[in-house]
Copies of this chain bind each other. A is one copy, B any other.
Amino acid sequence: MNYSKILKEVKAEVDLLELEGHIANYIPELAKVDPDRFGLHLQCIDGTHFDFGDSQMKFSIQSISKVLSMALAMKLEGVAMWERVDVEPSGNPFNSLIQLEHEHGIPRNPLINAGAIVIADILVSRLANPKVDFLTFVRKLAGSEEIDFDLKVAESEAKTGFTNRALANFLKANFNLKNEVEEVLDFYFHQCSIAMTCRELAETFMVFANHGCLLHNGERMLSASQTKRINAIMQTCGFYDEAGEFSFRVGLPGKSGVGGGIAAIHPQQYSVVVWSPPLNEKGNSAKGMAALELLTTKTGLSIF
């Protein structure tokens, strides 16, 4: 597969598209990002790398971090965690309170905000130094010590995260939060604030394309079965109420964030991360969606 040529075509075609999008502004700090940034990094299972544009620039991974916290919770908590969070698509926006009320405080899946807050609660319970230990886990997956929280972003969200505070309190009212609301939210806001480049994030997600093992040394981080489950959840729940559209157009397990990033993998083939801040009306990167659709069309490689 000539990825180099294909990525060149993808960039050229996306650049011609006139996509409508807006920068996420509900977190003031995120609204400051340059809307014209656009980068992509693809790492193959054979270790080769391909990229274009701003692939070496840090961006806020936001909800993409939910895949990483879910993975760590699966390692630490095992199957018991599925009593506190389900694995079904939500059919509702990412921050919906409605299903949570109908379903008595059991979030639909770990990739909507309510579910990710339950996962954060599990990690706060399980980790000695939650924030430090989580960062250590992410750095290990990425194979890089250059990864850190963006404290301004974390602080900005702490000040304005009223919806997440509503969700956390509602979980607490339904006995599905063991720790203090503010402690869990502090962890959660930090988790979401992690800044990474496309390349770092592609390296991090490679573990999900590689049956749960680190690519560079083969160290097993997750069982094959856990990895399969994570990919299945990304496939059905990774794009809020656009999961079906993404599955339909792109055909890969993946996860988006309001920072404009999307990480996706093709099992045993590659991991890919694209970043462009303007979001479509469903909250996913408009250019990112288009780029990944072109990628799977041009490579002829989708999981279907």
Q: How far is the CB of A243 from chain B (nearest CB, A)?
A: 6
Q: Is the CB of B244 within 8 A of A86?
A: yes
A131 interfacial by beta-carbon distance below 8 Å: no
CA distance A109 to B170 in the complex (A): 21
Q: How far is the CB of A245 from chain B (nearest CB, A)?
A: 6
A186 interfacial by beta-carbon distance below 8 Å: no
A267 interfacial by beta-carbon distance below 8 Å: yes
* A232 proximity list for chain B (CB < 8 A): 244, 247-248, 251, 302, 304
* A9-17, A31-39, A150-158, A233-241: which lies at the interface: A233-241
Q: How far is the CB of A175 from chain B (nearest CB, A)?
A: 10
Q: Is the CB of B172 within 8 A of A162?
A: yes
CA distance A22 to B267 in the complex (A): 37
* A162 proximity list for chain B (CB < 8 A): 169-170, 172-173, 181
* A181 proximity list for chain B (CB < 8 A): 162, 165
User: Pick the contact of A88 from B102, B241, B251, B253 — CB < 8 Å?
Assistant: B241
Q: How far is the CB of A113 from chain B (nearest CB, A)?
A: 12
Interface set of A (CB-CB < 8 Å, partner B): 86-92, 96-102, 108-109, 162-163, 165-170, 172-173, 181, 224-225, 227-229, 231-233, 235-237, 241-245, 247-248, 251, 253, 267, 297, 300, 302-304
CA distance A303 to B112 in the complex (A): 23
Q: Can you identify 22 A-B contacts, CB atoms within 8 angstroms? A: A88-B89, A88-B245, A89-B236, A91-B99, A97-B98, A98-B101, A162-B172, A162-B181, A163-B169, A163-B170, A165-B166, A165-B169, A165-B181, A166-B169, A228-B251, A231-B304, A232-B251, A232-B304, A235-B235, A235-B236, A236-B244, A303-B304
* A87 proximity list for chain B (CB < 8 A): 244-245, 247-248
Ordered nearest first, which 3 A-B pairs have the shortest CB separation? A91-B91, A89-B89, A231-B304
* A168 proximity list for chain B (CB < 8 A): 166
CA distance A97 to B99 in the complex (A): 10
User: Pick the contact of A109 from B92, B102, B227, B244 — CB < 8 Å?
Assistant: B244
CA distance A85 to B167 in the complex (A): 22
CA distance A102 to B92 in the complex (A): 11
Given contacts A97-B100, A225-B297, 15 further A-B contacts (CB under 8 A): A88-B244, A91-B92, A97-B170, A163-B170, A165-B169, A166-B168, A166-B173, A169-B169, A228-B302, A228-B304, A231-B304, A236-B236, A236-B243, A236-B247, A236-B248
Q: How far is the CB of A227 from chain B (nearest CB, A)?
A: 7
Chain B: CB-nearest residue to A108: B91
Q: How far is the CB of A101 from chain B (nearest CB, A)?
A: 5
* A97 proximity list for chain B (CB < 8 A): 97-98, 100-101, 166, 170
Chain B: CB-nearest residue to A170: B166
